[in-house]
């Protein structure tokens, strides 16, 4: 292939200023079912790197291996077809297939671009997302979706510190993020939890190897009038390896290979799924400082409740508070009547998790814990969820609390 004929591929690396990067040599890795995604993306990135250096022979070798190992990878098939066509004629754009729609070609191009962009700007694995303030002991793993990078990150709870162990290409809503109403084809942004698993035999082939529903709309969504349902983390149709970056009706989609890789790390009712537009990565040292500062607010709330000093206890609640069937005024009246009547109050918290809530104009934190309450005439143990807001005076206060759901 002449250098002239290869120019379309150099420009095809998506109108970007290409900086040569050494692609990882993944060609010798086995293409087992769970390893197919890493193998496929590694070959794709290697081919793109060769193209950027005008080494089309090596790129052809990579793509030939790729389409042989993974024939359902449509973006790779299109790239391979283009390079074969360029051997016999000059082509000037990505996707020279008769009768293929502009939308289809654009979507495949966007997928390759998203994968290439991510590998050109690697993540510092020594850092953690600022949103992961604290994981409880039962949360072995947590999922964070960065929609701007079409990437899902899986973290392990390593003695309380989130440690990045793997990342995956993802698809989100056709119209992007910040879901507000049913049918808007947007993916919600927020802190969610997996609520179960739907077996593939219970679903159309569109959903692939199964689906993990998440609890959208959560309490905060409902408070803001957000509607819709059926937001899942699910797989791809049996004849499709992956889908374009924006191709769902609001769900988060990974390949079936990746869904099967993730499945053992997802526990119903426990695994958090944080969906954000962009991850704020911070050092572990900064993360620990932030964790300590925010833990103090929750601990002081607990202590002030035990003290029976109603004024101190209520100082932790925002005047915009609503929860447990009461607004702020009725909550104040209730606590002023009940707390002083107790001979003692004992509150123990366990399995506490804390996450900063993405996508809101105000700074928000979601805190979940098992609350063991005892007084002289009442006791109750249940899982509570609170939403804390950073207010204008620089103090964090509770704006909602209730049973976790």
Question: Which is nearest to 220 in space by CA: 173, 299, 275?
Answer: 275
Distances (CA, A) of 68 to 76, 82, 219, 402: 10, 16, 47, 54
Enter the pTM of the model: 0.89
**Confidence grade of residue 56 (pLDDT, cut at 50, 70, 90):** confident
Domain boundaries 283-403, corresponding CATH code: 3.10.450.50
Q: Give the least confident one: 3-12, 94-103, 215-224, 329-338.
A: 3-12
For the segment 347-398, what is each residue's pLDDT rounded down to a tens digit?
999 999 999 999 998 999 999 999 999 999 999 999 999 999 999 999 999 9
At 31 the pLDDT is: 42
As a CATH number, domain 128-281 is 2.40.440.10
On whether the CB atoms of residues 367 and 385 are closer than 8 A, the answer is yes
DSSP three-state, residue 243: coil
Determine the pLDDT at residue 99. Answer: 63
Taking the C-alpha atoms of residue 62 and residue 223, their distance in angstroms, rounded to an integer, is 51
Question: 257 falls in which pLDDT band (50, 70, 90)?
Answer: very high
Lowest mean pLDDT among 63-77, 84-98, 103-117: 84-98
Q: What is the pLDDT at residue 54?
A: 85
């Amino acid at each position: 292939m002449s250098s002239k004929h290869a120019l379309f591929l150099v420009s095809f690396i998506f109108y970007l200023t290409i900086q040569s990067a050494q692609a990882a040599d993944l060609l010798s890795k086995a293409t087992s079912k769970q390893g197919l995604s890493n193998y496929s993306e590694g070959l794709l990135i290697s081919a793109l790197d060769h193209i950027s250096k005008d080494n089309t022979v090596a790129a052809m070798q990579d793509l030939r291996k790729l389409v042989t190992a993974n024939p359902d990878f449509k973006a790779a098939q299109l790239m391979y077809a283009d390079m074969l066509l360029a051997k016999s004629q000059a082509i000037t754009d990505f996707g020279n297939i008769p009768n293929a729609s502009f939308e289809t070609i654009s979507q495949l191009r966007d997928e390759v671009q998203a994968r290439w962009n991510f590998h050109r700007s690697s993540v510092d694995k020594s850092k953690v997302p600022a949103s992961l303030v604290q994981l409880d002991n039962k949360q072995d793993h947590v999922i964070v979706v960065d929609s701007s990078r079409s990437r899902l990150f899986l973290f392990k709870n390593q003695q309380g510190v989130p440690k990045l162990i793997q990342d995956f290409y993802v698809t989100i809503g056709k119209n992007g993020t910040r879901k507000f109403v049913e049918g808007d084809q947007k993916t919600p942004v927020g802190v969610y939890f997996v609520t179960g698993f739907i077996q593939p035999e219970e679903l159309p082939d569109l959903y692939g190897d199964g689906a993990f529903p998440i609890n959208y709309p959560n309490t905060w969504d409902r408070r803001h009038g957000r509607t819709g349902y059926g937001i899942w983390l699910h797989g791809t149709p049996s004849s499709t390896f992956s889908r374009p970056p924006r191709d769902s009706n609001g769900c988060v989609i990974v390949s079936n290979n990746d869904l099967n890789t993730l499945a053992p790390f997802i526990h119903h009712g426990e695994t958090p799924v944080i969906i954000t537009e962009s991850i704020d990565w911070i050092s572990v040292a900064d993360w620990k400082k932030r964790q300590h500062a925010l833990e103090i607010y929750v601990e002081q709330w607990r202590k002030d409740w035990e003290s029976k000093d109603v004024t101190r206890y209520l100082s932790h609640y925002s005047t915009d508070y609503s929860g447990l069937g009461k607004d702020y005024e009725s909550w104040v009246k209730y606590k002023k009547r009940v707390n002083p009547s107790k001979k003692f109050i004992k509150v123990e918290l366990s399995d506490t998790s804390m996450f900063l809530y993405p996508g809101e104009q105000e700074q928000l934190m979601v805190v979940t814990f098992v609350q063991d309450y005892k007084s002289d005439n009442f006791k109750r143990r249940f899982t509570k969820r609170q939403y804390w807001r950073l207010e204008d005076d620089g103090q964090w206060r509770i704006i909602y609390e209730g049973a976790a759901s």
